[in-house]
Structure 1
Amino acid sequence: MTQTIIGVFHTFQDAELAQTRLEAKGIARSDMRVHANDERSTMSTDTTVDDPVVRPAGEVHEGAMARIEHFFKNLFGDSERPEEIGHYQEAVRRGGALLSVDAVNESETERVRDALYAAGAIDIDSRVAQWRNTGYTGYDRNAPDYTADQIAEERKAFPVVQESLEIGKRSVQTGGVRVYSRLTETPVSESVSLREEHANIERRPVDRPATAADLREGFVEIKETAEEAVVAKTARVVEEVVVGKEASSRTETVTDTVRGTQVDVERTPGSRDASVDVPSTKKTTPE
């Protein structure tokens, strides 16, 4: 069974662009229609595929909205239509555009729905919630189209900004160690005992008769000796200084402040000009 999927877009050009994108994805152009009021020039346009109608600005609103009424009547018949249909008509009244696509089966329905959102279709429920904050209670066919200034005012955007904190790492030089090897001289003092031998000559007075042994020649040699200190040096390695690096890790908590903007919506009371009469035939659909 054929199903009709409707996407809401900000402008007629957005809906046309979405139509082109869907056609590139295999959706037949004959299965798509664009409904809109193009009020950006002196002419307004109510467009359906292969049947563009351009009328003077003074005549277009009634014709365009009547064609949209007829479009929804064909979909739902003469029975009471859901309230949501009025929301789609209200979107057109506020300068938006509708793109309707006929899908022949459930698989194509899902493909079309995804394609519409990918092309920038508006979430109508969210948009209606915004309208209700400004007093919207339902579509009123007697209400005039939005002017270009009203459209621009309603679509004024306030960016919501949120900073994020990104923590990175970098290597910095925190110092270092230089190791030098140099020759040192340290005075030392050691005590050593040295032995010496000296010749000792002693003369003693003697009074005795001389013998033949006493009258011969001879000699005796005595050598004197002495010890002296001998210095010898030996070098031994008593310590090693090993130079290297070791890594360690630590956890540091970074505390900072991120900035952002918050958009608050405040509803202000309306005012009614006492000189303007409200027709008694005007009906408003309850919220």
Structure 2
Amino acid sequence: MTQTIIGVFNTLQDAEVARTRLEAEGIARTDMNVHANDAGTTSMTDDLTTRDAVADRPVGEPHEGAMGRIEHFFKNLFGDHDRPEEIGHYQEAVRRGGALLSVDVTDDVSVERVRDALYAAGAIDIDTRVAQWRNSGYTGYDSNAPAYTADEIAAERQAFPVVQESLDVGKREVQTGGVRVYSRVTETPVSESVNLREEHASIERRPVDRPATAADLKEGFVEIRETAEQPVVAKTARVVEEVVVGKEASNRTETVHDTVRGTEVEIERTAGTEGVGGVAGTRGVADADDLGTVTPGKKTPL
């Protein structure tokens, strides 16, 4: 069964861009139609519905105009009875300067693909937009109400930016100091005690009174050497310590405290003045879940 997915856009240009985008993704141009009330005409390029509307009109009947063509489009889908309330919201969106992009699909896979593509292209949330209209007195689509003028469209879509600063904390490397290590030769006076041994010849004369023998009358000599120890100094170098120079990294967490600025938009309802009309509104946010899938006589929200 053929299903028709309808996306609502703020302007005709937005709808045309969305159609081009869907065409680039493989959707046939003949399966898509753009409906908008642009300068008193409905942009429906390659739209068989427009030609059918003109062909079906009795000879001599006044041209229905842009809104009439859109009415005929929905009549072809749903007939004259049991039309969902949402259809009136779509027509009201066109009356207020918006545009519709309808896409005919034949399988559920294409439904999801087209719905996502319409959302990505900027389709608005029709339910959010209707809620905004109701705050300004909207109760439902009135086919007798005139289309919005350019000034009315601009007034309704006047936007107040809501600004919110964000705090982005980065990091940069700075030099906080360093260490230089020098190696040089030093001289330190030291003292060490050592015991030295000396040998000296000693001569002792002692008186003796005994008879002499032949051995006493022999010649001879005795040599005694004297010795003395002297200190000998030797130096031996040994490595007793190493100073290792390097770097080690550590991490720490620092909380940055600052203040970010933003703006808030307050909405205040004011009492109306009898006899003076006015329209006010804000821009909505697109939501793919609020695109509509419709079949003849039936509409099922995605």
Same fold, TM-score > 0.5, yes or no: yes
> Paired residue for 2:294?
none
Matches within 5 A, 1:38-57: 38-39=38-39, 44-50=40-46
C-alpha distance in structure 2 between counterparts of 1:188 and 1:19, whole Å: 98
Contact 1:2 1:104 in 2 (8 A): yes
Cα shift at 1:96: 0.6
Letter in 2 for 1:49: T
Please list every run of 5 or more consecutive structure 2 residues that lacks an aligned counterpart in the other structure.
Answer: 52-62, 206-218, 278-302
Letter in 2 for 1:236: A
C-alpha distance in structure 1 between counterparts of 2:35 and 2:184, whole Å: 94
Letter in 2 for 1:15: A
> Paired residue for 2:24?
24
Cα shift at 1:90: 1.4
**Structure 1 pair 270–74 and aligned structure 2 pair: CA distance change class (3 A):** farther
C-alpha distance in structure 2 between counterparts of 1:153 and 1:275, whole Å: 15
Cα shift at 1:98: 0.9
C-alpha distance in structure 1 between counterparts of 2:272 and 2:72, whole Å: 35
Give the share of equivalent positions with the same residue, in percent: 58
Which of 113, 116, 121 is residue 114 of structure 1 equivalent to?
Answer: 116
Matches within 5 A, 1:72-91: 72-91=74-93
C-alpha distance in structure 2 between counterparts of 1:93 and 1:119, whole Å: 21
TM-score of the two chains, using structure 2 as the length reference: 0.67
Give a deviation string over 1:146-172, Cα, whole Å, max 9, x none. Answer: 23233223333414434143444x444
1:176 aligns with 2:172: no
1:92 aligns with 2:88: no
Which of 132, 135, 160 is residue 133 of structure 1 equivalent to?
Answer: 135
**Structure 1 pair 5–245 and aligned structure 2 pair: CA distance change class (3 A):** same
C-alpha distance in structure 1 between counterparts of 2:195 and 2:26, whole Å: 116
Letter in 2 for 1:121: A
C-alpha distance in structure 1 between counterparts of 2:275 and 2:156, whole Å: 25
Give a deviation string over 1:121-164, Cα, whole Å, max 9, x none. Answer: 22212222233333333223333332323322333341443414
Give a deviation string over 1:12-60, Cα, whole Å, max 9, x none. Answer: 1221222233233333333322211124xxxx3222234689xxxxxxx
Greater CA drift, 90-99 or 132-141: 132-141
Please list every run of 5 or more consecutive structure 1 residues that lacks an aligned counterpart in the other structure.
Answer: 54-60, 203-217, 277-287
Letter in 2 for 1:241: E
Contact 2:41 2:65 in 1 (8 A): no
Contact 1:90 1:139 in 2 (8 A): yes
> Paired residue for 2:267?
266
Contact 1:30 1:49 in 2 (8 A): no
Contact 1:199 1:224 in 2 (8 A): no
C-alpha distance in structure 1 between counterparts of 2:106 and 2:194, whole Å: 120
Bigger-Rg structure (1/2): 1
SS at 2:132's partner residue? helix
SS at 2:88's partner residue? helix
SS at 2:116's partner residue? helix
Q: Give the aligned CA root-mean-square deviation in angstroms.
A: 3.8
1:244 aligns with 2:245: yes
TM-score of the two chains, using structure 1 as the length reference: 0.70
**Structure 1 pair 102–250 and aligned structure 2 pair: CA distance change class (3 A):** closer
Cα shift at 1:188: 2.8
Cα shift at 1:62: 6.6
C-alpha distance in structure 2 between counterparts of 1:130 and 1:228, whole Å: 117
Letter in 1 for 2:41: T
Cα shift at 1:116: 2.0
> Paired residue for 1:215?
none
C-alpha distance in structure 2 between counterparts of 1:160 and 1:176, whole Å: 45
Contact 2:194 2:231 in 1 (8 A): no
SS at 2:33's partner residue? strand
C-alpha distance in structure 2 between counterparts of 1:272 and 1:79, whole Å: 37
Which of 126, 146, 149 is residue 147 of structure 1 equivalent to?
Answer: 149
C-alpha distance in structure 2 between counterparts of 1:186 and 1:5, whole Å: 97
**Structure 1 pair 136–263 and aligned structure 2 pair: CA distance change class (3 A):** farther
C-alpha distance in structure 1 between counterparts of 2:6 and 2:244, whole Å: 76
Contact 2:162 2:265 in 1 (8 A): no
